[in-house]
Structure 1
Amino acid sequence: MEPKENLKEKAYSIIKNKIIRCEYRPGQFLNEQELREAVGASRTPIREALNKLEQEGLLEILPKRGVLVRDITLQEVNAIFEIRCMVEPYVIETYGHLVSLADIQAMHQKIHASSFDTENLNEYDVDHDLHEMLIKACDNPYILEMMAKIFGQNHRLRILSGQRLEYRLRDTALEHEQILHLLASGKGKEAADAMREHLKHSREAAIAMMTDSKGWKQIV
């Protein structure tokens, strides 16, 4: 039998991964019994994991109603991109020179390879990995903690936008390659400007997706 703490972390990791990858979609109620069966854990580790995810803003535990995957509102989209547009270009310009050329080249190869793999979520994972790599060039623990929470929410938004707006997958890959090229060339300010422009386009795509007459809730 696994220790209680291990089961709690296992439950937290599995449920969070399903939320941010939109296997559990915004607005969906989760069945606690099904969660226990999916994780292979008892009630207590599941409850502790759900409480932690509620603190992170991914879930709402509603008395007598159940556990609800938090919706993504237009207000939240604007809040996410407000933070990202302030932080990510700053980190690139200030700390981008600390990202090794080997890491930049490896990421470029991952982006190129993902463009041939459109049948699963690989492109979204590569997108996440690139932004995480750049943020981790900064060793400020407060920035890292804040952006870890932001990226969790943004990964859901990234998947939902990509499912509705396929052109963003193509454009995002080109924008990422441009950022990496400028960074590899030692042009930190230009790379930061390119990131700022990329985030602007991503925000516009997310808002277009949310304000579409069908909305992301019609995605199947």
Structure 2
Amino acid sequence: MGRRRKLPDASPSSSVRQRAYLYIHRKITEGELKARSALSELELARELGSSRTPVREAISQLVAEGLLEQTHGGIFVVEFTREDVLDLCELREALETYAFSKVARLGLPQSEERERLHQLVQAVLDLKEELEKSGKTALDVEGMHRFIATDFSFHALLIGLSQNVRIHKVVSETRVLMRVFLMRHKGHSVADLERIYQQHKELLEAIERQDVAATTRILSMHLQESQRERLEEFDRHKREISMKNNMPNYMEIYKPNISLS
């Protein structure tokens, strides 16, 4: 007889641990907990109405996933450096290039996934047209959430078609990290959406005609531009923080010289 597979832990403690994990994860991904924010096991346990054990286990999982770091001074939300941004972008490009090239080489079958890819390409165009009609210069927060979900789904679906579960897992985790710690401070413009739409469209067309060279070239250009934008956004954000921290206190500079005599 073969080895019996161990069933997933479905105990009540597992359920509480998962709830704690999702609760903390949401606080981070939605920006409630910022980079360098300290976490308190006791406070989180109180918020969840649980003991500290499932919170501690959830924190350990988030540390392993790279969202939190544990030091002698406590537990903190990770803060990215410029080198971290470059590392993540390079890792994503290497893995997606392999996965997309494999899909192009194998061929894209007529399937629900293929139809879904075309719908996701169209969704970016729809966003662009909505933005044009609105008269706004850039997507608002809700619009950016829609774009990010669409873009993530397009790339994730193609990676999934490569049938490499490990690559899919690593790239998904990488994109979550980038989304959490490199939140955009401005939405995409009409020109941005037009460019991304064209790149997604050309990329899908190259994969459909099984042109591996074109697939690699278009994807590289697409991801290099994404990397440039991410780095520019990172640098801009750091400059803003630096200016804010170094700005002299207004009241100290302009303190009136009042004489009581």
1:59 corresponds to which of 51, 57, 68: 68
Q: Which residue number corresponds to residue 106 of structure 1?
A: 119
The number of residues matched between the two structures is 214
- Contact 1:11 1:49 (8 Å CA) reproduced: yes
Aligned to 2:256: none
* TM-score under structure 2 length normalisation: 0.69
Aligned residue runs from structure 1 range 1-220, under 5 A: 3-36=12-45, 38-63=47-72, 65-96=73-104, 97-98=107-108, 100-115=113-128, 116=130, 118-120=140-142, 121-157=145-181, 160=183, 162-164=184-186, 166-167=188-189, 170=193, 171-212=195-236, 213-214=239-240
SS of the residue corresponding to residue 61 of structure 1 reads strand
What CA distance in whole angstroms lies between the structure 2 residues aligned with 1:38 and 1:185?
A: 54
Shift of 1:31: 3.7
> In structure 1, how many angstroms separate the alpha carbons of the residues matched to 2:243 and 2:221?
27
Larger radius of gyration: 2
Distance 1:8 1:215, change over 3 A: same
Which consecutive unaligned segments of at least 5 residues does structure 1 have? none
Identify unmatched segments of 5+ residues in structure 2: 1-10, 131-138, 245-261
Give distance in 2, aligned partners of 1:216 and 1:39.
36
51 and 207 in structure 1: CA distance in 2 versus 1, 3 angstrom threshold:
same
Per the TM alignment, residue 77 of structure 1 is displaced from its structure 2 partner at its CA by 0.7
Identity among equivalent pairs (%): 21
Shift of 1:52: 0.7
Runs of 4+ in 1 over 6 A off after TM superposition: none
Structure 1 contact 209–215 (Cα < 8 Å) conserved? no
When structure 1 is superposed on structure 2, of 148-157 and 70-79 the one drifting more is 148-157
